[in-house]
Chains A and B, each alone.
Chain A
Amino acid sequence: MTKDLKQLAAMAASGALNRRAFMSRAAALGASTAMAGSFLGTAARAATPQKGGTFKVAISGGQSTDSLDPARSTNDTTLVVLKHFGDYLVEVDVDGSLVMRLASAIESSADAKVWTFTIREGISFHNGATLAASDVVATLRRHADETSQSGALGILRGIDTIEDVDGKVVITLADGNADLPYLLADYHLVIQPNGGLDAPDAGIGTGPYKVVQADHGVRYTFEKFADYWDDSRGHVDAVELLVIADDTARIAALQSGQVHIANRVPPKIAGLIERHPQIDIHSAGGPGHYVFNMFCDTAPFDNNDLRLALKYAIDRQQMVDSILFGHGSVGNDTPINSAYPLFSGDIEQRTYDPEKAAAHYKASGHDGPIVLRTADGSFPGAVDAAQLFQQSAQAAGIQIEIKREPNDGYWSEVWNKQPFCTSYWGGRPTQDAMYSTAYLSTADWNDTNFRRDDFDAKLLAARVETNPEARTSLYRDMSVMVNNEGGAMIPMFANWVEGTRSEVEGWYDDPAQTMMNGMATIKCWLKA
């Protein structure tokens, strides 16, 4: 309990939790108010960041094929690299609120169609140039260009024009979108000098650290940017990122003290690693989820009774316990969980019920085995999860035939092509972004072929709705619709599991992405 409390207190002290949230969570851990209060005090004193030192980090995901071009970033390593040298217009905090970064103020028209961003003054790039609105405009235009290969192209598609009007950035949308600032927090949208049009992979930004060496797939080194504008970030003198793909090697580097932080600790061994006196394991619940996709328009999955039968035939708790080893939470067949703003927690949780499953199965009139395609590359433990599902479905009289596919080519040949397969989603900053990406009728990645006019209408209505209560209620209706009639069977949400040495301070859990949403080395510091 003490360890958890310390962590909570550190979060509260660093501003990640407000005092009331801290007290209520501490109470849930069984701490008295006085005890919790004293922890908070100690943490706040200790939470004065210490400056200096060299952060060493072992991180997975990087490959020698990577590039410093923000538009081409697709993995954990490049995400973290971008956050070192780059800054964004805005960021999304752990409580879902917006943090102003390179934008100092945001205004929107009443219909959420025209957005005006005031750009912070006196910010310099690593190459000495001063940030101007034109740089922001060029950056956003580069990513929004239809011929770009940017990973952010999809979310910027609703933008009509991006203009520099008297030193302010004015964005006009085709249709209103109250969430636009959240979309601009996307990690690809690093503001680069002249938008990176001259040299997209130069690695020049306004971030707290400058790129010293970039050996892709191997090692990155950074040094503190002396002219950085925000004193509350970038506490160390230098950062060394080591790309270590092999899980065992990454954990060994943490155990032997060669690195301060290792990301993606396999849940299977997290409990063992935590026994090490100098290692803390952090488990942050996020929007990332594992999913079994059924095509709503392809037989036999075009029958909602069959979909419901399968949804009742999966033992969610068992999955969380034996696939995630407790580092996760059960899913409710909707991609939305408490990590999202405007979440409604009162939707009934679907549980394993072989009788109901058998009843729906009978009602569907289907007979014979159902083919499920899977590969370990679709999510860690996917093949095991498929086998657990096969057994729990067997108890309801449903035959599942597992077809193992090669990892290689899974995303191009199986996912979004076969009617029933395993997959994962990393989550998005807002409910709108998640639904627009994978549940809107016209979405490219509508990987369950869920096409419903009434759902689309609600999504578009929520996008321009500025009253939070009305919006929450619309989102609730959509979750219920996906839960009851959708093709996505979502048994679990996976946590980010990371390990730090005890000299790392200032850590708090950010559910958005791995490594405190890529900010670990920027917001944490090293105890001398």
Chain B
Amino acid sequence: MIAQRLALSLLILWAVSVVIFIGTEILPGDVAQNILGQSATPEALENLRTEMGLNDPALSRYLSWAGGIIQGDLGTALTNGRDIAESMTSRLINTLFLAAFAAVMSVPLAIFLGLLAVRYRDRWPDKLISATTLASISLPEFFIGYVLILIFAVNIPLFPSVASVYDGMGFFARLNAMALPAMALTLVVLAHMMRMTRAAILNVMESAYIETAELKGLSSFKIIYRHALPNAIAPIVNVVMLNLAYLIVGVVVIEVIFVYPGLGQYLVDHVSKRDIPVVQACGLIFAAIFIGLNLVADITALLTNPRLRHPK
């Protein structure tokens, strides 16, 4: 079953690469025009196009790119001629690091708040948690980012407003620089995970065996984490994975506001320049992460459900 899923994933990746290629072909202008901008002379344009091989037909450009990918070669960026794999690695590590930092803060917090909301269901802690997390998910990301900058960088200078990280930076200096974007991301993804946790556990709480546990005289918090949570794990993992994927692929706005050198900004710059090999490579990586995390969610659901684990 897993092998079938993997094969499907590869098919989807291929489809993604075709869609991205067609998409960037349809956009007006090409990379030569976008590099030279308003100052493009016809000669310079022609020289650049020839040098970049843009005059070849689209199909042959796609095939030569796909041929490279199969051999593990992402190619070189058209705009500055640098090796894509090399310049993307540090960006990807930055993105993953920020996502991990935000996840370490947000996932336990979301699950804990979810449990708390169930324990005090329909009482003020539940309502407070629901209201604040809903408010933070309803505000646009850039607004949360600006508010955090205003409070924690301008008014009370605790953290830097510019999350500029670079090679050779110490671990704690890095965490300090990343504090604000990680906080902003936490606020953005918290509500979704917390509400899903709450709903999934409440669903289980209706079951007869929970009533038995109550009659047995267990404390209500113990019932929730010992008996209800394990049976609600599959939908929670699902939503956690979706949010992790979001933390990696959907953080362009946060990266721009906090000037964080992640993959999102890198992708946007190259899309606006129509640098197709880079866009393709980023698209593939994003798609692979998305598909991979969903695969993990499916497998977890399988492992936590005895009925699926031991089919008759």
Taking beta carbons and an 8 Å cutoff, which residues of A are in contact with B? 58, 63-67, 72, 74, 146-151, 153-154, 201, 213, 215-219, 242-246, 248-249, 252-253, 255-259, 408-409, 411-413, 415, 444-445
Contact = CB atoms under 8 A, between A and B. Distances in A.
B21 interface: no
The 6 closest A-B pairs by CB, nearest first: A409-B28, A65-B79, A218-B261, A67-B80, A63-B269, A412-B29
Contact of A444 (B41, B79, B81, B257): B41
B35 interface: yes
Which of A65, A258, A412 counts the most chain B CB atoms within 10 A? A65
A415 B81 CA distance: 28
Nearest to B48: A149
B192 interface: no
A253 B35 contact: no
Nearest to A415: B38
B38 A411 contact: yes
A216 B35 CA distance: 14
A217 B160 CA distance: 19
Given A146-B43, A147-B47, A249-B256, A67 B81 contact: yes
A252 B81 CA distance: 34
Interface in B63-99: 77, 79-81, 87
B159 to A, nearest CB: 9
A415 B33 CA distance: 13
Contacts of A66: 80
Given A148-B44, A259-B162, 10 more contacts: A67-B80, A149-B47, A154-B41, A215-B261, A217-B261, A219-B164, A252-B149, A256-B160, A258-B161, A258-B162
Contact of A58 (B38, B87, B162): B162
Given A219-B166, A258-B160, A258-B161, A149 B265 contact: no
Interface stretch (B102-110, B236-244, B270-278): B270-278
Interface string B238-268: 0000000000000000001111010001100
Contact of A65 (B35, B48, B161, B261): B35
A246 B220 CA distance: 49
A246 B256 contact: yes
Contacts of A255: 154
B27 A242 contact: no
Interface in B13-54: 27-29, 33-44, 47-48, 51
Contact of B266 (A64, A72, A147): A64
Given A65-B35, A65-B269, A408 B28 contact: yes
A409 B27 contact: yes
A243 B259 contact: yes
Contacts of A249: 149, 161-162, 256-259
Contact of B259 (A147, A213, A242): A242
B157 interface: yes
Interface of B: 27-29, 33-44, 47-48, 51, 77, 79-81, 87, 146, 149-150, 153-154, 157, 160-162, 164, 166-167, 256-259, 261, 265-266, 269-270, 272-273, 275
Which of B154, B258, B272 counts the most chain A CB atoms within 10 A? B154
Contacts of B265: 64, 217
Given A66-B80, A219-B164, A153 B44 contact: yes
Nearest to B266: A64
B269 A217 contact: yes
A213 B38 contact: no
A258 B152 CA distance: 13
B27 A215 contact: no
A65 B269 CA distance: 7
Contacts of A154: 39, 41
Contacts of B28: 408-409, 412-413
A146 B50 CA distance: 14
Contacts of B149: 248-249, 252, 256
A72 B35 contact: yes
Contacts of B270: 64-65
A413 B275 contact: no
Contacts of B44: 148-150, 153
Contacts of A147: 47
B154 A256 contact: yes
A415 B257 CA distance: 30
18 contacts: A63-B272, A64-B265, A65-B273, A67-B79, A149-B44, A149-B48, A213-B167, A218-B164, A219-B166, A248-B146, A408-B29, A408-B272, A409-B28, A411-B29, A411-B33, A411-B38, A412-B29, A413-B28
B161 A149 contact: no
Contacts of A216: 80
Given A151-B39, A249-B257, A249-B258, A412 B33 contact: yes
Nearest to B167: A213
Contacts of A408: 27-29, 272
Contacts of A252: 146, 149-150, 153-154, 161
A243 to B, nearest CB: 7
B64 to A, nearest CB: 21
B160 to A, nearest CB: 6
Given A74-B39, A154-B41, A213 B166 contact: yes
A235 to B, nearest CB: 23
Nearest to A217: B269
A147 B51 CA distance: 10
A444 B36 CA distance: 14
A243 B259 CA distance: 8
Contact of B257 (A58, A67, A149, A246): A246
